[in-house]
Amino acid sequence: MILFIIIDARDRDMLQKRLESGWGIIVPGILVMLLALSDLSFAQWRLIVVLALLSTSLMLFHKRLRHFLLLPSCIAFASGLMLMVMNLKG
């Protein structure tokens, strides 16, 4: 019985961590989608990717900001995808 309670509590914690990482992908995805609607140039998208990558590396070494590391890295990834789409278009 005690083993069942421990496993149940552990699974609840694992589900919460998965949901937290889901927010780390959903929020930057929405932000990049809104940026895509603003019709930025190729150079501006490259600047966004560079700033997101720099902030990711800086956040990696910060004690409190390390928990939000997925936000700028997802922005860099989604912005890189936008650059590839723009490159294929034109």
Per-residue pLDDT of the chain (90 residues; tens, 9 = 90+): 444 444 455 555 555 555 566 777 788 888 888 988 888 888 998 999 999 999 999 988 888 888 788 888 888 998 998 888 888 876
Type and span of the H or E element at 59? helix 42-60
**What pLDDT score does 33 carry?**
86
Which range of residues forms the domain containing residue 57? 2-89
50 close to 72: Cβ distance less than 8 angstroms: no
To which residue do tokens 């890295």 refer?
Answer: 73
**What pLDDT score does 23 carry?**
73
Q: How many domains does the chain have?
A: 1
Hey, how many other C-beta atoms are within 10 angstroms of the C-beta on 33? 11
Query: Pick from 76, 71, 80: which is nearest to 24 by CA?
Result: 71
pTM: 0.69
**What pLDDT score does 3 carry?**
44
CA distances from 34 to 7, 59, 75 (A): 41, 24, 12
